[in-house]
Structure 1
Amino acid sequence: MNASYAARLTFATATSLLLASSVLAQEQFAIGASSSGSGPYINGAAISEVVNNAQDGYKFSVQTTGGYRDNLGLVLSDQVDFAFNTLIDLEFAYNKRGDFAEVSNNEAFKDLRQLFIFGIVPENFFVRADSDIHSLEDIKGHAININTPSSFTYGLNLELLKAAGLSSDDFKAGTVSTGQVFDEIQNGVFDGGLHVFQLGLANAQQLSATVPMRYVGFDQKVIDKLNEAYHGLLVPFEIPAETYKGQSEPVQTFGLAQVIFTDADADEEMIYEFTKAFWENLEALKESNSSFRGLTVEIGSRQNTVPMHPGAVRYFEEIGAL
């Protein structure tokens, strides 16, 4: 081995060791989302990529989970570092409302801390255009999917029906997941569905491109009555015209605030860097994913009854949002 080759080999080895130690020095953190391929999982992948590219101190990765309800326990048991949920579920858990009042050891929910709201996802009422359904009251006698009984959306839909003076006995209630409903409608199993999903979801666009569909709005009185059951945590939402093929008019509905949360013991510096990287790169997120459209720091920094983690507070105070 000549001296020149030996020197190059020594340099290459030293460089590899430095790179390896740099990777090992990066602390690894998991973001609990939902099932693989779901909207939350896609959002988590986009957020992880943008935040990882924006800073060098921490490495973030999205993790599949059983869904938003499971995410509460995963965070509190330190199986993930932070996770996604609806603001409604986070608030209800923290305040031990609804189903959470009956959960054993629900005092642990007081350790929940929010980082920020990262998006608003609408309730979508979509039906085949060849049906005679033009309002929620018209679903009587039809086959309409309302999601799986274990999902947040299923409970939301039952409350929505109640607010409209209806029940699941008034129609043929389907109980398949959002991922399945589009194929089922295309195959004629259902006349439509009531589902929460992000604006412009690819599966929804594909369905409306192959089967003429109608998106139906809700009466404001029904939304207001529904919001009473959710302590005013629902937000107004308009699905812009032409979001889906054949949808020529805007549709008035309501949305669910989506929140990133952690627990009280999460490292303040890590949370600060994550929050900063997210908000300083919001435009890149908007370009990559329609879920972030319309998001502003004013929406994101909105405080609720769940305390905001000190790391997030620090960032929002720095930029004058709090």
Structure 2
Amino acid sequence: MIWATPVQAQETLKMATIAPSLGQAITMATFANIVTDNLDNVEIEVSGGGAATLHMMEVARGNLDLSMTSPVIYNLMSAGKAMYANEPEAPELAKNYKLLMWFPYGQYHFTVRGDSDIQVLDDIEGASVFLGPQGGGAYNAARGWVEATTGLVVGEDYDAIKANWQTGFQAFLDGKIDVYVNGCLDPCGQFIQFTETENLRFIGPESDEGEEVDKWLGKWRYRAEVPSGMYDGQTNEEAVMSFDTAVGIGVRADVDEETVYQITKTFWDNLEQVTSQAPWAKALDVKFAASKRGLMELHPGAERYYREAGAIE
């Protein structure tokens, strides 16, 4: 799927993001639209679909200009570990990938039907679960939270289906899986759609405390509650504990400094255009956007703007 605007521009930047129905993709598409609508000489063309882990490599190779990123995934790319273990060029490519901004990913919602016997994450033994597309950052994060808080291991204690975001959600809609996981800033489109016809319940672990949990969270993930009362068909009477992390927009390091400065400034100067229609936009914060997270460095153009805005010293 392609988002594009008819504005004629002197420069077109290509942005790739994940499935267009997901909140993070909507945030990125909104960024692109604000910049394109308010900056005369730049157009950002967005394509939705695929894995951010692969998009990051394509940005660094020069085939794209911007993509979604995260502190954890960038650190893995820099070290050539996990999903990059078979990509020998990943550490070198990471040098050509810089940060434009961070924003909250959204709490990971571990979701069951309202009448499910699964009351807490510890009950998913033997269940079928969609954690996210296998090999992606969301899958690894959801798997890690389950293992750290409950001790349950994917492939041994419960089954994780192989599916992309669209088919994973469809499997939950069709009742083919027991648990659906999606990280998003409420209200999330998938849960609005689901509760039009059925009830749901968000579940957390019996306990989110302990050394293993703290170790897994590390510096770049943090505990975050999924609130009650967000959806008409939500049966939770109380908030449940989950986790959140930062994701961001990464940019090719060799994109011109002035261009990156202008697109960063244009976005933040015009953010009020969307906040009334998009509650998630209220979670965007300029200091959070410029914060130091992991090994990833700000692009010089973005850094210049954040210093002018007082977000960093």
Render the CA deviation track for 1:218-252: whole Å, top value 9, x for unaligned.
43226x63553464211332333322222443332
Render the CA deviation track for 1:29-54: whole Å, top value 9, x for unaligned.
11111244444443332222211222
Q: 1:312 and 2:298 equivalent?
A: no
Alignment partner for residue 153 of structure 1, among 138, 152, 155? 138
Name the structure 1 match of 2:117: 132
Q: 1:67–1:288: structure 2 CA closer, same or farther, 3 Å change rule?
A: farther
Q: 1:208 and 2:195 equivalent?
A: yes
C-alpha deviation, 1:143, in angstroms? 2.5
Q: 1:35–1:195: structure 2 CA closer, same or farther, 3 Å change rule?
A: closer
3-state DSSP class of the match of 1:221?
A: coil
Name the structure 1 match of 2:58: 74
Q: Within 1, Cα distance between the matches of 2:189 and 2:110?
A: 16
Name the structure 2 match of 1:17: none
Name the structure 2 match of 1:11: none
3-state DSSP class of the match of 1:137?
A: helix
3-state DSSP class of the match of 1:243?
A: coil
Alignment gaps of 5+ in structure 2: 1-5
Q: 1:220 and 2:204 equivalent?
A: no
Q: Which amino acid aligns with 1:319?
A: A
Alignment partner for residue 184 of structure 1, among 166, 171, 175? 171
Q: Within 2, Cα distance between the matches of 1:31 and 1:216?
A: 34
Q: Within 2, Cα distance between the matches of 1:147 and 1:33?
A: 15
**TM-score, normalised via structure 1 length:** 0.84
Q: Within 2, Cα distance between the matches of 1:309 and 1:172?
A: 41
Contact 2:119–2:203 (Cα < 8 Å) also in 1: yes
Q: Within 2, Cα distance between the matches of 1:190 and 1:63?
A: 29
Name the structure 1 match of 2:241: 252
CA RMSD of superposed structures (Å): 2.4
Q: 1:60–1:71: structure 2 CA closer, same or farther, 3 Å change rule?
A: same
Q: Within 2, Cα distance between the matches of 1:136 and 1:243?
A: 20
Alignment partner for residue 303 of structure 1, among 280, 292, 297? 292
**Which of 203-212 and 170-179 deviates more?**
170-179
Q: Within 2, Cα distance between the matches of 1:248 and 1:51?
A: 41
Name the structure 2 match of 1:4: none
Q: 1:167 and 2:156 equivalent?
A: no
Q: Which amino acid aligns with 2:119?
A: H
Alignment partner for residue 267 of structure 1, among 245, 256, 281? 256
3-state DSSP class of the match of 1:45?
A: helix
Q: 1:225–1:199: structure 2 CA closer, same or farther, 3 Å change rule?
A: farther
**TM-score, normalised via structure 2 length:** 0.86
Contact 1:94–1:306 (Cα < 8 Å) also in 2: no
Q: Within 2, Cα distance between the matches of 1:240 and 1:283?
A: 25
Q: 1:283–1:184: structure 2 CA closer, same or farther, 3 Å change rule?
A: same
Contact 1:159–1:226 (Cα < 8 Å) also in 2: no
Contact 2:71–2:296 (Cα < 8 Å) also in 1: no
Alignment of 1:76-95 (within 5 A): 76-95=60-79
C-alpha deviation, 1:111, in angstroms? 2.2
Structure showing greater radius of gyration is 1
Render the CA deviation track for 1:143-165: whole Å, top value 9, x for unaligned.
32223323322222332232121
Q: 1:142–1:117: structure 2 CA closer, same or farther, 3 Å change rule?
A: same
Which of the two has greater helix per residue?
Answer: 1
Q: Within 2, Cα distance between the matches of 1:103 and 1:257?
A: 24
Contact 1:88–1:230 (Cα < 8 Å) also in 2: no
Q: 1:283–1:248: structure 2 CA closer, same or farther, 3 Å change rule?
A: farther
3-state DSSP class of the match of 2:311?
A: coil
Name the structure 2 match of 1:43: 27
Alignment gaps of 5+ in structure 1: 1-19
- Percent identity for Structure 1 against Structure 2: 24
Q: 1:96–1:201: structure 2 CA closer, same or farther, 3 Å change rule?
A: same
**Which of 125-134 and 54-63 deviates more?**
54-63
